[in-house]
Amino acid sequence: MTEESDPDDGANAGALDVETDIDADAESDGSGEPRRAFWADEVADEIEARDPEEPIVIKGGVSPSGVAHLGNFNEIMRGYFVAEVLRERGHEVRQVFTSDDRDPLRKLPRKLADVDGKIVGLGDVDAGALGRNLGRPYTDIPDPFGESESYAAHFAALLKADADRLDVPVEMLSNTEMYEAGEFDEVVAHVLERADVAREVLSGYQSKIDEDYVPFNPICGDCGKITETVTSVDVDAGTVEYVCTDMTVGDETIEGCGHEGTATFREGKLPWRFEWPAQWQILGVDFEPFGKDHAEGSWPSGADIARNVLEIEPPVPMVYEWFTLNGEALSSSAGNIVTVAEMLELLEPEVLRYFFALNPRKARDFDVSRLDQFVDDFDRFERAYFGGVDDESLTAFAERAYPFVVDEIREDRIRLPYTFAAVLGMTDNRDLRIEMARNEGYFDDDTPEWAIEEALERVDRARAWAEREDNEYNYRIQESLPDVDLDDDVEAALDELADFVETGQDGEEIQGEMYETARRHDVEVGDFFEAGYLLFFDQPQGPRLGEFLGELDTEFVVARLRRKS
RNA sequence: GGGCCGGUAGCUCAGUUCGGCAGAGCGUCUGGCUUUUAACCAGACGGUCGGGGGUUCAAGUCCCUCCCGGCCCGCCA
């Protein structure tokens, strides 16, 4: 459960005092066990130690505000790995994700994502329509893109689509639908019957709880906003009476309409601190990961409320650290967010899944500019699974985590190093890509077609990365002659190479001739290649040059080698 | 102010549960490879484990304290 609706509204980050709980639970599973190489195994141990009923329920959830970004995926992926471990151990597992869509829209998001996961500004949609709906549940607000049933449905669809992209089977649940179907009735009645106990427990965490506090927020029958002022409760009738008063959100006020009315338990919601434990009860949740922001607020009070108000055992908790994006906090207003869909243009799904398999307790940076390094890490992790890395702890981790990261375990898969893939991406010619990879020894005559196909998928992604980052791998043939300063002997060698190319030679011959030409002119081979790279790419390095030149228009190559154009 | 999590090589990170030689990959440098070109092989360089103090035969690991970053301690989620 992460709020993370809009990181700007301050919620976030974490901490863990959850420790106490985790430690306490751990005691029951005996001590002296060797430390698990994969955190999901440790969590699974804790869950099993509680002897849960089948199916084991794993939950995540988020309030559907703003953009469904990569950070939200902690909610789904952390739970997923635990679910998979438990399934492997023979348990039936149900992974659910609540869209906490009865929450009111409290603030206009600055960024939204369209149906394709593309981020757009508020200016691209009907912002006025959103503004008029401040204070109303997300499910009662029209989809700004005019496609889904509601703002909430749009957002949930995005998350579901992303989960599908990562091949995670998760059941999406709408909080509003659960209220409307009466699933909350019993627990709302229970909480309101024991409102005194509820107040007492919660007041241990929130100083503002007074005698008049009623743990239920009805929806105003007139203006449709979530209200906070309940004047009386009739548990037997299943109703509350309320006055629609102003609601303070940060330093802004959402005006109430003054309407006085009656609402059933299905026409409102529990405040978050109660709603979360109520979800645990209704859904029978055994495990729930949450962001560090909940670790010291919602979790301790939620666990307390679960035990002492609802009289249920709270789920096994797990706090995950937030990650930063390019060194900065995820922030939709600052535009510092990426979506799963965007990242899948740059990374294979398994590489993205790997990111979430890493230690959740470690704050880490998702640095798009160094994705190459991250992909290298993944490749190494993959090799470690197959026993190819001399690193005990990595291998132990890979043995457990890798099978849950990839869709299928296939040892003969070929991974082109990401930066090399980026280099291949400079040409759209598939045959040339294969030829260059073959020359570097990644493919041979026995390489099956499927392995080549899969390996080449990375090329398009690495190419997209190079373009997105506009980094040194963003090779472009220079349309006009770059401004280069060359030594006389290098120039003479280039002229001679031009003569050779002009006679119509293929790539391999050009490559071989480059060595010969350099030697004849007493030029360092390295210097000669560098001159070639500068002429064609305005970069000191590049792909295997001869083969590449062999694919280009001969006239163009000859002219460029002669520094004519 | 109180609390929680994080801080290990230039970069990305293991290692901290339960004290036992300071580690890996990448990058850098050097050498080799008779096509070395974002390739391979070998080797080297690289660290006050955030600082300080303490316990111990022994501390990245345990204790105290301080610094830095993030978060919680209002509301909301």
Per-residue pLDDT reduced to its tens digit, A87-117: 999 999 999 999 999 999 988 888 888 888 8
Q: How far is the CA of A228 from the C1' of B4 (A)?
A: 31
Q: Is the pLDDT of residue A285 over 80?
A: yes
Nucleotide nearest to A1 (CA to C1'): B77
Q: A155 and A162 in contact (C-beta within 8 Å)?
A: no
Supply A320's token pair.
């995950």
Kindly state the helix (H) or strand (E) to which residue A515 belongs, with its residue range. Answer: helix A507-520
Question: What is the ipTM score, two decimals?
Answer: 0.86
Name the closest residue (CA) to the C1' of nucleotide B15. A393
Nucleotide nearest to A329 (CA to C1'): B70
Q: Is the pLDDT of residue A12 over 50?
A: no
Residue A18 has a pLDDT of: 33
Q: Is the pLDDT of residue A543 over 90?
A: no
Residues A55-97 pLDDT 10s: 999 999 998 877 888 888 999 999 999 999 999 999 999 999 9
Using CA atoms in the order A114, A120, A124, A128, what is the torsion angle rounded to 10 degrees? 80
Nucleotide nearest to A100 (CA to C1'): B77
Q: Is the pLDDT of residue A2 over 60?
A: no
Name the closest residue (CA) to the C1' of nucleotide B5. A15
Residues A311-357 pLDDT 10s: 999 999 998 988 888 878 887 777 788 889 989 999 999 999 999 99
Nucleotide nearest to A13 (CA to C1'): B71
Task: Report CA Rg, chain A.
Answer: 30
Q: A532 and A558 in contact (C-beta within 8 Å)?
A: no
Confidence of residue A34 (pLDDT cuts 50, 70, 90): low
| Per-position DSSP letters for A440-460, written without gaps between them | TTS--TT--HHHHHHHHHHHH
Nucleotide nearest to A292 (CA to C1'): B71
Q: How far is the CA of A328 from the C1' of B67 (A)?
A: 21
10 Å CB burial of residue A367 (0-12, 13-18, 19+) is middle
Nucleotide nearest to A23 (CA to C1'): B17
10 Å CB burial of residue A147 (0-12, 13-18, 19+) is exposed
The CA angle A451-A453-A455, to the nearest 5 degrees, is 65
Q: How far is the CA of A33 from the C1' of B57 (A)?
A: 28
Q: Is the pLDDT of residue A9 over 70?
A: no
Residues A315-327 pLDDT 10s: 999 989 888 888 7
Q: How far is the CA of A494 from the C1' of B65 (A)?
A: 68
Q: How far is the CA of A19 from the C1' of B6 (A)?
A: 15
Q: How far is the CA of A18 from the C1' of B75 (A)?
A: 23
Q: How far is the CA of A416 from the C1' of B76 (A)?
A: 47
Name the closest residue (CA) to the C1' of nucleotide B16. A35
Q: How far is the CA of A292 from the C1' of B29 (A)?
A: 42
Confidence of residue A251 (pLDDT cuts 50, 70, 90): low
Nucleotide nearest to A528 (CA to C1'): B37
**Is the overall model pTM greater than 0.80, yes or no?**
yes
Q: How far is the CA of A426 from the C1' of B12 (A)?
A: 26
Residue A369 has a pLDDT of: 85
Q: How far is the CA of A393 from the C1' of B7 (A)?
A: 21
Alpha helices in A231-327 (DSSP H): 272-283, 298-305
Which bases of chain B come closer than 7 Å to a protein CB?
A: 2-7, 11-18, 24-26, 35-39, 69-77
Q: How far is the CA of A307 from the C1' of B61 (A)?
A: 35
Cα–Cα distances in angstroms (integers) from residue A230 to residues A427, A506, A546, in the given order: 67, 83, 79
State how far the Cα of A61 lies from the Cα of A216, in Å rounded to an integer: 20
Nucleotide nearest to A394 (CA to C1'): B14
Q: A476 and A521 in contact (C-beta within 8 Å)?
A: no
Nucleotide nearest to A102 (CA to C1'): B77
Name the closest residue (CA) to the C1' of nucleotide B37. A544
